[in-house]
């Protein structure tokens, strides 16, 4: 063993140390180079890109909702407008105890207590710096009340906004409709970009069916924000100058209706407090001149927001004020279908102008003991087709139905527009029903699929399965007035660009002709309708005789409950809601028809004494013999 060998090799250690220093220096130099290169890239080559991103962190784009288009009547009077109103708003991040604040607002009657859970949910779900609207429109009293107590409610304030307003309230509720707050279903079907910033959309009536025209297109503006996204004052004019130009919202188009305000008011008031509907149209163009459904409601309640209690009262009202009877109410048309059935019978040879029936007050099918009663218990005596229409003899049409048959009845009534939607420019129209053998086979089971002769008999006076809307009856009356020419009913007459004032007129649309070309048939049936009102024995002569113009019409009643064969039918003893519906159709002037009207009064009993005066009042006003003042 060599006891003199060295403990350390200083030379080797030095070389190792120098190597490590060199390696560390090289790595450090490389890393420093990479950092410098990255800084050069960020500061020089990518400066513009990251400057824009940095600015984007400070700038928020906020949607600006468009101004909704206005709705006018045919004479340019405003039916739906936008008015300034103060909204009560709460900013969640500025309120320490939101639930306590809402409870105290409810205690001073500024909000409804039953709405508190909904407001709590909205305040939790949205961004904390964005306001939650508690009330869409505040009265002067509410503003004054809150102004006094404002120090008690930090984070709550009222702000000016535009809200939809309907100056004539319930008068146009079913025709113009109303707007309501956007809900989840609305946002799923609507263009989110177009509705950015909007809070309302059309729910019913013209407001809904012409939503695409009325709404317009949203704009946007750039806001300077802090790191939390809240708006702050701009501290640099250079920054503002570098922002893109804000996009101005495009206002919605204005809508001009064919409805006349004065005529609408007369029709509404003529119905009084009774349940029913009135529809008046121009037979030559299909323009709807009046469309009334009663009872009605104030559409402003929906535009500014209502409590759950208020909505419940409307929805649960036995008289159904929210229901549009004019286009959705399906009623048995009663004897109002006798004129088109008479034309069908003449055209098919089921009857002629000289055929007479002996009306003894009832009719029986061969081999059947059941009596189909006439409205006149003692009967009308011998009647021909003209008398059967003018005096509304049921027995004549009972007998006629055997030769005409249900399938011919179905074909010709369908030609006059019954049993199908008219295609009016409103959403939710009901099609009514004109039965046939095929219809019954497709909608019933077993033995019930068979069509019975008795069903044809009652169908001939508009009972049984037969259903029609007041709008369909008005359209049918217009077709009678024009001797077979059908025009599609429409409410909107023109659409106007609010910026250029250019108007796009809505052209009348023909639905063809019913295909009855014999003018002699038309002369006889229409003359019989004239005698309903102005003949010596017409059912509605009480309102027609002495009128300053000639007119034609047909009364009708629709039975609501069935009466047994051996029971006397005394309506005075029936509960009011079980009495017959009263119907009346009419057009005038007789030789140059300018207006066709259909009226139904629910449980009104008599078409000639209850519904006919309503139609007469509407025709008087339109033809210049009314007393309504023009604004």
Q: Which residues are catalytic?
A: 335
CA 149 to chain centre: 41
197: left (phi over 0), alpha (psi -120 to 50) or beta: left
Cα 576–Cα 581–Cα 587 angle in degrees, nearest 5 = 145
Q: Which two tokens stand for residue 414?
A: 């369908």
Number of helices and strands (H, E) in the chain? 23, 22
C-beta separation of 322 from 310 below 8 A = no
Q: How far is CA 383 from CA 84, 261, 310, 352, 606, in A?
A: 65, 43, 55, 12, 22
Q: How far is CA 120 from CA 100, 261, 307, 308, 549, in A?
A: 11, 43, 15, 16, 63
Cis peptide before 36 (omega within 30 of 0): no
Residue by residue, DSSP assigns 195-217 as TTT--EEE-SHHHHHTHHHHH-B
219's CB contacts (< 8 A; 6+ apart) are 63, 64, 66, 246, 247, 248, 249, 250
Greatest distance between any 2 Cα atoms in the chain: 157
DSSP state at residue 507: P
C-beta separation of 99 from 120 below 8 A = yes
3-state secondary structure 112-153: CHHHHHHHHHHHHHCCCCCCEEEECCCCHHHHHHHHHHHHHC
**N-term to C-term CA, the chain:** 132
């Amino acid at each position: 063993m060599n006891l003199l060998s060295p403990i350390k090799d200083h030379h080797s250690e030095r070389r190792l140390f120098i190597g490590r220093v060199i390696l560390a220096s090289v790595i450090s130099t490389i890393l420093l180079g990479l950092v410098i290169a990255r800084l050069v890239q960020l500061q020089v080559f990518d400066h513009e890109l990251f400057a824009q991103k940095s600015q984007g962190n400070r700038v928020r784009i906020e949607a600006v909702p468009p101004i909704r288009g206005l709705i006018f009547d045919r004479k340019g009077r405003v039916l739906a407008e936008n008015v300034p109103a103060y909204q009560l708003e709460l900013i969640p991040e500025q309120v320490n105890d939101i639930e306590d604040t809402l409870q105290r607002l409810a205690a001073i009657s500024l909000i409804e207590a039953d709405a508190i859970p909904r407001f709590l949910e909205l305040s939790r779900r949205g961004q904390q710096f964005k306001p939650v609207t508690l009330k869409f429109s505040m009265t002067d009293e509410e503003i004054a009340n809150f102004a006094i107590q404002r120090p008690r409610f930090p984070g709550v304030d009222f702000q000016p906004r535009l809200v939809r307003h309907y100056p004539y309230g319930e008068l146009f509720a079913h025709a113009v409709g109303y707007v309501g707050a956007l809900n989840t279903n609305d946002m799923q079907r609507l263009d989110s970009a177009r509705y950015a910033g909007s809070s309302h959309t059309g729910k019913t009536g013209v407001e809904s069916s012409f939503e695409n025209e009325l709404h317009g297109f949203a704009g946007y503006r750039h806001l300077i924000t802090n790191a939390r996204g809240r708006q702050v004052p701009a501290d640099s004019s250079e920054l503002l100058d570098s922002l893109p130009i804000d996009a101005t919202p495009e206002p919605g188009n204005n809508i001009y209706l064919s409805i006349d305000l004065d005529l609408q008011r007369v029709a509404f008031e003529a119905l009084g407090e009774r349940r029913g509907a009135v529809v008046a149209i121009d037979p030559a163009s299909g323009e709807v001149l009046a469309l009334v459904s009663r009872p009605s409601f104030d559409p402003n309640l929906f535009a500014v927001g209502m409590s759950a209690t208020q909505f419940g009262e409307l929805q649960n009202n036995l008289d159904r004020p929210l229901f549009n009877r004019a286009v959705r109410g399906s009623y048995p048309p009663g004897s109002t279908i006798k004129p088109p059935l008479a034309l069908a019978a003449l055209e098919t040879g089921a009857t002629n102008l000289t055929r007479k029936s002996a009306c003894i007050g009832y009719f029986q099918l061969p081999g059947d003991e059941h009596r189909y009663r006439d409205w006149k218990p003692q009967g009308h005596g011998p009647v021909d087709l003209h008398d059967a229409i003018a005096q509304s003899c049921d027995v004549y049409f009972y007998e006629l139905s055997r030769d005409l048959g249900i399938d011919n009845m179905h074909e010709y009534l369908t030609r006059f527009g019954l049993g199908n939607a008219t295609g009016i420019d409103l959403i939710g129209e009901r099609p009514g029903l004109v039965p046939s053998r095929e219809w019954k086979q497709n909608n019933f089971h077993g033995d019930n699929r068979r069509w019975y002769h008795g069903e044809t008999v009652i169908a001939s006076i508009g009972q049984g399965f037969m259903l029609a809307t007041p709008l369909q009856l008005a359209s049918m009356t217009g077709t009678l007035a024009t001797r077979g020419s059908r025009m599609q009913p429409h409410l909107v007459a023109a659409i106007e660009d609010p910026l250029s004032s250019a108007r796009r007129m809505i052209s009348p649309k023909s639905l063809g002709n019913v295909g009855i070309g014999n003018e002699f048939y038309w002369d006889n049936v229409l003359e019989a309708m004239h005698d309903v009102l102005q003949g010596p024995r017409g059912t509605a002569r009480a309102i027609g005789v002495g009128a300053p113009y000639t007119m034609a019409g047909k009364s009708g009643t629709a039975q609501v409950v069935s009466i047994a064969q051996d029971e006397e039918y005394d309506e005075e003893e029936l509960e009011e809601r079980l009495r017959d519906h009263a119907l009346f159709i009419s057009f005038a002037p007789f030789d140059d028809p300018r207006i066709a009207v259909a009226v139904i009064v629910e449980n009104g009993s008599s078409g000639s004494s209850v519904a006919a005066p309503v139609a007469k009042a509407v025709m008087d006003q339109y033809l210049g013999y009314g007393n309504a003042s023009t604004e």
